[in-house]
């Protein structure tokens, strides 16, 4: 049983507040679950801490607080006043980015190098843009119609459930939670168990920022709590980042009451290399786009679609780049490639590679656990050749460090391969001819396409098509997702 403690001290002197408590309704509350849940290091497979996870009783308290807050003053505050409080929250997060990244490395195995990049160019970019555009995005306007002037206003949607993944919780705070708060919603965050430590640092920043009572709750927890929250009729909106199967479960569980949903789901993102590609230049972003976070990013470039005439050259160059990545403890400053976040992720990756081999694939590099590590959920950066576009590993999201190479003979075939999955989240096109590259990018069915780099940017609307979800996060469009648009006809 967990005792009352103000803070937990990890190896290296990292301090985590309130291992026994959760942010519920804007304040620390002792979790109703008295037993501690072990936090297992993905790098060593050792228990590094025990903390309270949320229970259904905690969830009920958070939802009740969110419902009360939405009946209070927060939705009626001027947008500028909400921007000020959210800005204070984000400023405090920025002050603790290094600390948050270090804790995340301990509990989720994310290398410090990647967390610094993700937090600067995704999380900070997302919330900075949202803060800058909120007043304009939510401003009322008057239009002239044949029956008189009509005023268009954006009203807060209501209490929001934000279900977050383990692979980028701080980025999701920027893309999902801050925009909802700016729109005037009250928010209950259901965080992944793999971010239970870092989300306590986030919770401390929220308390220091001074949100009104009930406006924000953060509940790390498992599937039971997620299902309990999804069924709660007090939520007007569910914003979820994760896999299509869980999104389908959410739709079934909430179908009777028809809440609004925004789903940012999986991807099988292609990188199309045109025959004129400058390979050395392309590798600078392509390798990071495929292997950052050990491939545990939804927009990972997991399919390389390459001209057959340059196939061997490209495979050799990418394999060489993958082999050069430094595999190591995620807490080491020079580590490029850390472990997967949990045992299930490692076993899933192993199953996909085994299936790929059975279907005829050959590893150009990787395809195994590194011999240098006796423990930890490590898996080598893996490049698979002799893969057909219809093979399992070319169609389904691995969510691990596995890239497939798919050759093409002409641009139409490249386009058919790029669009030939159920996903449509992100893509990249690499070409020395900007106009031809742009023309190809326009024909790829994806919510975002990057030209000669890896994306997306979190300062602009981001989301998917097909089984990669619907709705948009980030930018002014991402704020408006959390509002109802009302017309007032002026007689």
Q: What is the pLDDT of residues 101-115, one digit of tens each?
A: 999 999 999 999 999
Q: What rounded mean pLDDT belongs to the chain?
A: 96
List, in order, residues 6 or more apart from 172 with CB less than 8 Å away: 162, 164, 165, 241
Q: What is residue 320's predicted lDDT score, i.e. its pLDDT?
A: 98
Output helix, strand, coil percentages for the chain, rounded to the nearest 5.
40, 25, 35
Q: Has residue 146 got a pLDDT over 80?
A: yes
Q: Which of 11-15, 223-227, 298-302, 426-430 has the lowest mean pLDDT?
A: 11-15
Please compute the mean of the pLDDT values over residues 69-87 and round it to a whole number.
Answer: 98
Query: Does residue 142 register a pLDDT over 90?
Result: yes
Dist. CA 417–CA 445, nearest whole Å: 11
Q: Which helix (H) or strand (E) holds 114?
A: helix 112-118
DSSP letter for each residue of 386-428: S--TTSHHHHS---SSEEEEEEESSHHHHHHHHT-SS--SEEE
Give the pair of three-digit tokens for residue 439: 């023309």
Of 162, 454, 38, whose CA–CA distance to 286 is shortest? 454
Tens-place pLDDT, residues 169-184: 999 999 999 999 999 9
Beta partners for residue 55, in sequence order: none
Q: Residue 46, exposed/middle/buried by CB under 10 A (0-12, 13-18, 19+)? A: exposed
Alpha-carbon span 219 to 110, nearest angstrom: 21
> What is the mean predicted confidence (pLDDT) over 281-305?
97
- Is the pLDDT reported for residue 83 higher than 70? yes
Domain architecture of the chain: domains with CATH: 7-265+469-490 (3.40.605.10), 269-458 (3.40.309.10)
Q: What is the pLDDT of residue 33?
A: 80
Per-residue DSSP letter, 310 = G
Cα-based distances in Å from 60 to 35, 39, 64, 188: 19, 24, 6, 10
Q: What is the mean pLDDT of residues 2-13?
A: 82
pTM of the model: 0.96
Give the range among 2-11, 70-79, 236-245, 374-383 with minimum mean pLDDT. Answer: 2-11
Task: In whole angstroms, give the CA distance from residue 210 to residue 77.
Answer: 14
Q: For 334-371, what is each residue's pLDDT tens digit?
A: 999 999 999 999 999 999 999 999 999 999 999 999 99
Q: Are strands 269-273 and 21-24 parallel, antiparallel or unpaired?
A: unpaired
User: Can you give the pLDDT at residue 1?
Assistant: 59
**How confident is the model over 250-266, as pLDDT tens digits?**
999 999 999 999 999 99
Mean pLDDT of 215-244: 96
Q: Are 412 and 307 in contact (CB under 8 A)?
A: no
Model confidence at 34: pLDDT above 80: no
Q: Report the percent of the chain where pLDDT is more than 90.
A: 96
Query: For the packed helices 434-442 and 411-418, what is the interaxial angle rounded to 10 degrees?
Result: 40
The pLDDT of residue 205 is above 90: yes
With cut-offs at 50, 70 and 90, classify the pLDDT of residue 55.
very high
* Proportion of the chain above pLDDT 70, given as a percent: 99
Q: Which pLDDT band holds residue 35 (cuts at 50, 70, 90)?
A: confident
| Angle, vertex CA 110, rays to CA 106 and CA 112, nearest 5 | 85
Find out whether 107 and 14 touch, Cβ atoms under 8 Å.
no
Output the pLDDT for position 12.
85
SS3 240: strand
How large is the average pLDDT for residues 20-37?
91
- The answer, yes or no, to whether residue 3 has pLDDT greater than 70, is no
Whether the bond between 215 and the residue before it is cis, its omega within 30 degrees of 0, is no
**pLDDT value at 36 more than 90:** no
Taking each helix axis as running N to C, give the angle between helix 79-95 and helix 97-108, from 0 to 180 degrees, rounded to the nearest 10: 70
- The residues annotated with a catalytic role in the active site are 264, 298
* Mean of pLDDT values over 323-344: 97
Categorize the per-residue pLDDT at 304 as very low, low, confident or very high, splitting at 50, 70 and 90. very high
């Amino acid at each position: 049983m967990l005792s009352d403690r103000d803070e937990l001290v990890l190896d290296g002197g990292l301090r985590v507040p309130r291992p026994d408590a959760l942010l519920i309704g804007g304040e620390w509350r002792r979790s109703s679950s008295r037993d501690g849940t072990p936090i297992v290091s993905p790098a060593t497979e050792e228990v590094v801490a025990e903390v309270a996870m949320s229970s259904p009783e905690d969830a009920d308290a958070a939802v009740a607080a969110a419902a009360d807050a939405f009946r209070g003053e927060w939705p009626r505050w001027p947008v500028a006043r909400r921007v000020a409080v959210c800005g204070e929250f984000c400023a405090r997060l920025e002050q603790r980015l290094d600390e948050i990244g270090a804790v995340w490395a301990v509990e989720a195995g994310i290398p410090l190098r990647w967390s610094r990049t993700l937090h600067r160019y995704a999380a900070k970019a997302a919330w900075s843009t949202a803060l800058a555009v909120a007043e304009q995005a939510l401003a009322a306007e008057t239009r002239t119609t044949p029956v008189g002037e009509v005023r268009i206003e954006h009203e807060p949607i209501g209490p929001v459930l934000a279900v977050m993944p383990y692979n980028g919780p701080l980025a999701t705070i920027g893309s999902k939670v801050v925009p909802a708060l700016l729109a005037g919603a009250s928010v209950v965050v259901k965080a992944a168990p793999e971010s239970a430590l870092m989300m306590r640092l986030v919770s401390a920043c929220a308390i220091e920022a001074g949100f009104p009572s009930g406006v924000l709750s953060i509940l790390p927890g498992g599937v039971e709590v997620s299902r309990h929250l999804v069924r709660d009729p007090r939520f007007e909106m569910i914003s979820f980042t994760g896999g299509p199967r869980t999104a389908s479960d959410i739709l079934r569980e909430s179908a009777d009451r028809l809440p609004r949903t925004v789903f940012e789901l999986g991807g099988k993102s292609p990188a199309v290399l045109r025959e004129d590609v400058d390979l050395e230049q392309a590798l600078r972003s392509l390798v990071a786009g495929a292997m950052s976070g050990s491939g545990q990013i939804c927009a990972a470039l997991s399919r390389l679609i390459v001209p057959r005439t340059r196939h061997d050259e490209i495979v050799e160059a990418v394999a060489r780049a993958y082999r050069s990545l430094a595999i190591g403890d995620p807490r080491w400053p020079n580590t490029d490639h850390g472990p997967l976040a949990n045992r299930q992720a490692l076993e899933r990756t192993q199953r996909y590679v085994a299936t790929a081999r059975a279907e005829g694939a050959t590893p150009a590099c990787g395809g195994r656990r590194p011999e240098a590590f006796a423990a930890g959920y490590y898996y080598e950066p893996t490049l698979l050749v002799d893969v057909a576009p219809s093979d399992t590993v070319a169609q389904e999201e691995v969510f691990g460090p596995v890239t497939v190479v798919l050759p093409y003979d002409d641009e139409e075939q490249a386009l058919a391969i790029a669009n030939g999955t159920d996903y449509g989240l992100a893509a990249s096109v690499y070409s020395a001819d900007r106009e031809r590259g742009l023309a190809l990018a326009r024909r790829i069915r994806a919510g975002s396409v990057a030209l000669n780099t890896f994306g997306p940017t979190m300062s602009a609307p981001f989301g998917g098509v097909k089984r990669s979800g619907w709705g948009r996060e980030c930018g002014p469009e991402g704020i408006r997702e959390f509002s109802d648009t009302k017309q007032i006809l002026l007689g």
